[in-house]
Amino acid sequence: MLKLVNITKSFNLTGNKEDNRVALDHINLEINDGDFVTVIGSNGSGKTTSLNIIAGTFMPDEGDIILDDKSITKLKEYQRAKYFGRVFQDPMLGTAGDMSIIENLEVASLRGQTHSPIKWGFKKSHREHFINELKRFDLGLEDRLNQKVGVLSGGQRQALTLLMATLAKPKVLLLDEHTAALDPKTANKVLELTERIVTEEKLTTIMITHNMKDALKYGNRLIMYHQGHIVLDVKGEEKAKLTVEDLLKLFDDVSI
Ligand SMILES: Nc1ncnc2c1ncn2[C@@H]1O[C@H](COP(=O)(O)OP(=O)(O)OP(=O)(O)O)[C@@H](O)[C@H]1O
Ligand SMILES: [Mg+2]
């Protein structure tokens, strides 16, 4: 359902030809409906750039992005926002700290809609829906709807961002090291929550992580980037058989 066809992206900060950095080198990738893909790869290998190209943050130099058989390459980031939910590494991104939890959720539920269908009379049921969703998180956020998001912990804020990113069911959920800034216990909690939401909502998901165990534990498919190329793409049984040692060996092999 999501296809990256021959995607190439270079960055050049100086304008000198010798400073050209190829971040993605003719990438081809087809994500199927319902895939939960974990993505690993060394620093600077092109993982985040891929998500930026998918979401429309950057335009590719070459290639096409196809969603449900239609090219979205020329659509601007805001025009694609209705298709993609996104959670970043930094808990400060994704939520507005000076707005309350309920205000953040209201804004998120409008994502991708040009005309607000929410009338004042519907607000109550909205509120109940939000409370029910937040209860599933088991973080006590349902009792703090009117508090500013700025007072929440990083983990609470990432959990809220995750809910906001999935509230208006996205075609693809894009997670970029979304638990990397959290302590191990909270990271696990947010990951479990991620899996639950992805499974319950049947969300097609791409999750970047530097944690090999998480990359193996979650999802049905695993992709590895190296220097702007996809060097591994395994799914199902083949993925289930992989071990952390296998992945470390692969890292060694491609780095030679
Ligand atoms: N906005 C930008 N301007 C200039 N160069 C960039 C920009 N974004 C990415 N790059 C370069 O593109 C390459 C790929 O970066 P990218 O952020 O995709 O890596 P990554 O795989 O996400 O790495 P990490 O694991 O460190 O997050 C790197 O060489 C990086 O410096
Ligand atoms: Mg990155």
Query: Does any ligand 1 atom lie closer than 6 A to the CB of residue 211?
Result: no
Instruction: Report whether residue 23 contacts ligand 1, using a CB cutoff of 6 Å.
Output: yes
Residue 13 has what pLDDT? 82
Strands 221-226 and 229-235: antiparallel
* pLDDT of the residue at 112: 59
For ligand 1, atom 4, which residue shows the shortest CA distance? 11
pLDDT of residue 123: 56
| Residue 47 Cβ < 6 Å to ligand 1 | yes
Query: What does the alpha-carbon distance between residue 24 and residue 45 come to, in Å, rounded to a whole number?
Result: 8
pLDDT of residue 198: 95
Question: What is the predicted pLDDT for the residue at 85?
Answer: 93
Instruction: Please state, in angstroms and rounded to a whole number, the distance separating the CA atoms of residues 147 and 154.
Output: 15
Tell how far the Cα of 235 is from the centroid of ligand 2, in angstroms. 22
Fold of 35-47+77-222+235-255: Rossmann fold (3.40.50)
Quick one: which ligand is closest to 226's CA?
Answer: 1
Q: Residue 121 has what pLDDT?
A: 43
Ranges of residues in the chain with a pLDDT under 70 are 112-125
Please tell me if the CB atom of residue 155 comes closer than 6 angstroms to any atom of ligand 1: no
Ligand 2 centroid to Cα of residue 147, in Å, is 31
Where in the chain are the domains? 35-47+77-222+235-255
Decide if 142 contacts 53 (C-beta within 8 A). Answer: no
Residue 41's DSSP bridge partners are: 225
Length of the chain: 256
Q: Classify the phi-psi angles of 69: left when phi > 0, otherwise alpha if psi is within -120 to 50, otherwise beta.
A: left
- Output the pLDDT for position 119: 45
CB of 48 within 6 A of ligand 1: the answer is yes
DSSP 78: H
- Return the SS3 of 211: coil
Q: What is the pLDDT of residue 124?
A: 59
Nearest ligand for residue 39 CA: 1
Residue nearest atom 1 of ligand 1, based on CA coordinates? 11
Residue to mutate, 40, 43, 212, ligand 1, most ligand atoms under 8 Å from C-beta: 43
Residue among 49, 59, 174 to mutate when testing ligand 1 (max atoms within 8 A of CB): 49
Q: Whose CA is nearest to atom 19 of ligand 1?
A: 44
DSSP lists the bridge partners of residue 9 as: 24
DSSP state of 120: G
Ligand whose nearest atom lies closest to the CA of 23: 1
Q: What's the number of CA atoms in the CB half-sphere (13 Å) around residue 198? A: 24
Q: How far is the CA of 9 from the centre of ligand 1 (A)?
A: 10
95 CB-near residues (< 8 Å, 6+ apart): 104, 149, 157, 160, 161, 164
